[in-house]
Amino acid sequence: DAKTTQPNSMESNEEEPVHLPCNHSTISGTDYIHWYRQLPSQGPEYVIHGLTSNVNNRMASLAIAEDRKSSTLILHRATLRDAAVYYCILPMNNNAGNMLTFGGGTRLMVKP
Amino acid sequence: DTEVTQTPKHLVMGMTNKKSLKCEQHMGHRAMYWYKQKAKKPPELMFVYSYEKLSINESVPSRFSPECPNSSLLNLHLHALQPEDSALYLCASSLWTGNQPQHFGDGTRLSIL
């Protein structure tokens, strides 16, 4: 399985942009890149996913490097509610199911 | 509020008890999942159900017994658990097509005395 590497923690100021990096140097051509986050006392929440092109949705943007060996989740304007653990995952899909293997993630702290 | 509902939110049980965790979704998802999350650790996949059939068992001990009675419900039956089984148990669901996001419930926090 392709693995991901993320910094253990990052800090941001409220209302400033946040760039959360993820390295996935062993990614294969068909691996999608998914991001989830987990707020305190809640289950994980889907944020965004992409394959090759940059993606935007109401929560965040995903910038994917041209060689696909890294990606960056961008929160355009951090709020206190964005304090969470952010997971970068390359799901494994086979005939049996869609499997998420969570790594350690990045704990994002947002300062007022 | 999540679209995946888990009950109960908290459960305390002894090692000889039998209890069940319940998960429900009404999004028409045909894949459902159980994860286990220990404190300060990431979630770990336990089971995957696809069209009400067990498709993946990640070498989970038999004291955990999953059941999918219909496309909206997923149960996890617990029997003779050990103290190290105390954790947050998360349920998720997704559309069957690959690379669709998973929707998680907020979990059942289980404590084994």
Residue of A nearest to B88 (CA): A43
Do B106 and A41 count as a contact with CB atoms less than 8 A apart?
Answer: yes
Q: What are A's interface residues with B at a Cβ cutoff of 8 A? A: 32, 34, 36, 41-46, 49, 85, 87, 91, 93, 95-105
Question: How far is B23 from B33, CA to CA, in rounded Å?
Answer: 10
Q: For chain B, what percent of residues have pLDDT higher than 70?
A: 96
Residue B42 with chain A: CB contacts under 8 Å: 85, 87, 102-105
Collapsed DSSP state (helix, strand, coil) of residue A75: strand
Angstrom distances, CA of residue A86 to CA of A31, A44, A48, A83, B49: 19, 9, 11, 9, 26
Nearest to B99 among A41, A49, A96 (CB): A49
Q: What is the pLDDT of residue A35?
A: 97
Q: What is the pLDDT of residue A93?
A: 77
Question: How far is B50 from A41, CA to CA, in rounded Å?
Answer: 28
Question: How far is B77 from B67, CA to CA, in rounded Å?
Answer: 8
Q: What is the pLDDT of residue A69?
A: 96
How many interchain CB pairs under 8 A, A with B? Answer: 63
Structure tokens belonging to residue A88 = 């970068």
Nearest to B56 among A87, A97, A105 (CB): A97
Question: Do you find a cis peptide bond into A112, omega within 30 degrees of 0?
Answer: no
Q: What is the pLDDT of residue A96?
A: 66
pLDDT in tens, B60-88: 999 999 999 998 999 999 999 999 999 99
Q: What is the pLDDT of residue B97?
A: 61
Residue ranges for chain B with pLDDT beneath 70: 1-2, 97-98
Mean of all residue pLDDT scores within chain A = 93
Q: What is the pLDDT of residue A79?
A: 97
